[in-house]
Chain A
């Protein structure tokens, strides 16, 4: 490369870096930087009225996983926390699986519509996606609360005497999350199915495959990237969900998100809240790594 060309290239790189600067500064100040502060806070001592005292301590991290017996000072597994972690993971997994079971046929249905109506169906999935999560959670609340749609209908039909208590249960949280995150499953699945070459399906039938075999041996393997992407998009927000458990779950069915909030509210233990946040992020990173490994393998196979 000539000296002039090299100088021009250096100028271009410099101007590109300059262009990215405003976005990077905003992100550093109000997104990435604060995450590092959370990490620091997880090693400090809680202050008496919230906030922290600047004394190094690993107590927060210990109490994420272990609890100290008040009588003989021995450490044991923090059962309460473990139960909440387990519930969060199980509910997020169950939500993801249900979303996949409902979302896949729906995406398939949309992808096999004629060109002209396809956009309309897609639009119908997109509208709830753009609607405020709180409003949608409120909609679900209207369906399942004691004076809600289901209990009213069943009561008017004379099928029940007392309203069925659905609100404030794990099932309510799961139904709410399924409802809220379902579009996140359908959209990437559709993107995959849209590219599906139906000549391959035809070839399967020509070779006397049953529809079920065509589905499991041809269609599903081809849309695996979409299935993984959709599952990640549902699993991650479900794991850290805050609005849905708070509105539909009540105090007894705590999840990761509400447990973290508690430490910054009545719990007044900011370091523990910080340590729990880092733990949640670590779990999300594990899920993302699984995704990246799968996506990478997909790409290598071509």
Chain B
């Protein structure tokens, strides 16, 4: 018997989709599987072992770079989310005023500039400041990360604000709540999922950055991604697979939480 006619069916699309998912997951799968290989080579499977995870955990450089990555990501994401929340409050649910379009353009600009150009620009400016002040701390990396995280933190917060019911705040004002109380007890609780999603997006974007960090960092300031970039040019050992696997697991946890948070609509 012939299959019933389905208007949604397009010949071969399912096959291409299968190919697409295979393409997306095969490299990651190979990476993870070989992190557990007992032997040092990709060409031979020598049994399951955790030795490369142990090796990575005992590698002082890896630990140091991971801690630095987290320090930068947490600082940058906190500041970027705070600034983005205020900016979202300033640019949504308002009749147009002078400066609104400029603000909007300024926030979105970093998304349109190629990363390498931002990296070069920051290298130039920070090199000057380093020479003038003598300060070579993590501040440069945190400032750079904060700036490019702002548009990412801004997106979900703005989306959340635009979907919110203005009447609730009007009701609060009618009941003689001060603007600050209205914000604290009505706006903020409703906005919270957006802020959380914005924070996580900023956190992951900062944690993932390679290019800008590679250009801005001073000597001995490797983050985990720039450390890995350096290692990839030398001999590749399964220790890299082990580090990647842990990194990957962390990303999956964050996406899952982000997915659940941004899905919940009340």
Contacts and interface: CB of A to CB of B under 8 A. Distances in A.
A20 B90 contact: yes
Interface stretch (A66-74, A142-150, A293-301): A142-150
Interface string B76-119: 00011011101101110010011100010011011011111111
Interface size class of A (residues with CB under 8 A): 35 or more
Given A26-B79, A134-B225, A240 B114 contact: yes
Interface in B207-229: 207-208, 210-211, 215, 225, 228-229
Contacts of B148: 31
Interface residues of B, number: 90
A21 B13 CA distance: 49
B143 interface: yes
Interface in A18-54: 18-24, 26-35, 37-38, 41, 51
Contacts of A288: 112
B211 A243 contact: yes
Interface in A104-161: 105-106, 108-110, 112, 119, 123-128, 130-136, 138-143, 147-149, 152, 155
B31 A135 contact: yes
B175 interface: no
B248 A135 contact: yes
Interface stretch (A55-63, A75-83, A221-229, A276-284): A276-284
Contact of A152 (B42, B116, B124): B42
B30 interface: yes
A182 B7 contact: no
Contact of B210 (A27, A123, A134, A273): A134
A142 B17 contact: no
A237 B114 contact: yes
Contacts of A270: 124
A246 B8 CA distance: 42
Contact of B84 (A23, A108, A109): A23
A240 B110 CA distance: 14
Contacts of B109: 27, 31-32
Contacts of A140: 27
A293 B43 CA distance: 51
A22 B10 contact: no
A236 B17 contact: no
Nearest to B43: A152
Contact of B10 (A28, A147, A211): A211
Contacts of A20: 86-87, 90-91, 99, 103
Contact of A132 (B5, B83, B127, B207): B207
A38 B42 contact: no
B7 A202 contact: yes
B106 A105 contact: no
B252 interface: yes
Interface string B10-26: 11111011011101111
21 contacts: A16-B94, A22-B82, A22-B87, A23-B150, A26-B150, A27-B107, A28-B106, A31-B148, A32-B106, A38-B124, A41-B124, A105-B17, A127-B255, A130-B251, A134-B228, A143-B27, A236-B112, A242-B115, A264-B120, A274-B120, A284-B114
Given A26-B146, A127-B251, A243-B210, 6 more contacts: A30-B147, A108-B17, A112-B8, A138-B240, A198-B8, A285-B112
Interface of A: 12-13, 16-24, 26-35, 37-38, 41, 51, 101-103, 105-106, 108-110, 112, 119, 123-128, 130-136, 138-143, 147-149, 152, 155, 178-179, 182-183, 186, 198, 201-202, 205, 211, 215, 236-237, 239-240, 242-243, 246-247, 256-257, 260-261, 264, 270, 273-274, 277-278, 280-281, 284-285, 288
